């Protein structure tokens, strides 16, 4: 059974820091991996999708990498801003379903 | 208009009542899903459908039922609501294996059962 773990569970940093959020999964037979952002009580916004044949994807200050063989993905946030405060969810596309980690709750203070 | 629309956005209902949550999409995707989110437990899959005639149970389907009325519409029903079904519910769509665009989620329905 696929299990997805995110570390750390919570993170509080001053504005301007470069951040690394980690995601690990137990079964390397995945199709894609997707990172989402969720604001409190709100829906999920897709940030980056890494297909199984890719190693990384970039969008603005965000960069996500994928290493299927080791079962790991990393989301890198450059020059963090207070507006980045949210919960970040990692999800793996496993057979016909999307399986989520429990998220990293990020707070960036001015 | 949003690609995936969920109604209602918020709902308070009494124990034992029947309630339906609705989802419609304009993505043209065949695959649709219902997830439930609880604090500390993450998102868990309730039901999913790969086309109009296909319905599959997820990991927590007990107490729920679904109907795929059309390619664009997928409804979730609670036949007799109970307080531990209080949660945030999300509908999602995708192409096979996530495709090039991954999964798209609606804005969620916050359900409270009192």
pLDDT band, very low/low/confident/very high, at A72 (cuts 50, 70, 90): very high
Give how far Cα B112 sits from Cα of B38, B61, B89, B95, Å: 12, 18, 11, 31
Q: Which residues of A touch B (CB under 8 A)?
A: 31-32, 34, 36, 41-44, 46, 49, 51, 89, 91, 93, 96-98, 100-103
pLDDT at A82: 97
- Say which of B33, B42, B104 has its CB closest to residue A103: B42
Model confidence at B101, in pLDDT bands (50, 70, 90)?
confident
CB contact under 8 A, A43 and B41: no
pLDDT of residue B97: 66
> CA-based angle A103:A106:A108, to the nearest 5?
170
Only one residue has tokens 């995936």, namely B4
Strands (E), B3-72: 4-7, 10-13, 19-25, 31-38, 42-49, 56-57, 64-70
Task: Identify the bridge partners of residue A35 per DSSP, sorted by sequence position.
Answer: A48, A90
Q: For residues A40 and A38, give the distance between their C-alpha atoms in angstroms, rounded to a whole number.
A: 6
| Residue B98 confidence class, pLDDT cut points 50, 70, 90 | low
Q: Are A99 and A92 in contact (CB under 8 A)?
A: yes
User: Across chain B, what does the average pLDDT equal?
Assistant: 93
What does the pLDDT look like over A10-58, one tens digit per residue?
999 999 999 999 999 999 888 899 999 999 888 899 999 998 888 999 9
Is the backbone of residue A47 left (phi > 0), alpha (psi -120 to 50) or beta? Answer: alpha
């Amino acid at each position: 059974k696929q299990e997805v773990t995110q570390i750390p569970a919570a993170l509080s940093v001053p504005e301007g820091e470069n951040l690394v959020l980690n995601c690990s999964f137990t079964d390397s037979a995945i199709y894609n991996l997707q990172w989402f952002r969720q604001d409190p009580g709100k829906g999920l916004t897709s940030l980056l999708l890494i297909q199984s044949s890719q190693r990384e994807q970039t969008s603005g200050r965000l960069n996500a990498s994928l290493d299927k063989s080791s079962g790991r993905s990393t989301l890198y946030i450059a020059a963090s801003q207070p507006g980045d405060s949210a919960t970040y969810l990692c999800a793996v596309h496993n057979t016909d379903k999307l399986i989520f980690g429990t998220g990293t709750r990020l707070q960036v203070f001015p | 208009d949003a690609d995936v629309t969920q109604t209602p956005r918020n709902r308070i209902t009494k124990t034992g009542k029947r309630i339906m949550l609705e989802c419609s999409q304009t993505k043209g995707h065949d695959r649709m899903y219902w997830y439930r989110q609880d604090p500390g437990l993450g998102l868990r899959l309730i039901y999913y459908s790969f086309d109009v005639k296909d319905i599959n149970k997820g990991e927590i389907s007990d107490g729920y039922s679904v109907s795929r009325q059309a390619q664009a519409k997928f409804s979730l029903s609670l036949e007799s609501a109970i307080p531990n079904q209080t949660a945030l519910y999300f509908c999602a769509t995708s192409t096979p294996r996530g495709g090039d665009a991954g999964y798209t989620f609606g804005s969620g329905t916050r359900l409270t059962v009192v």
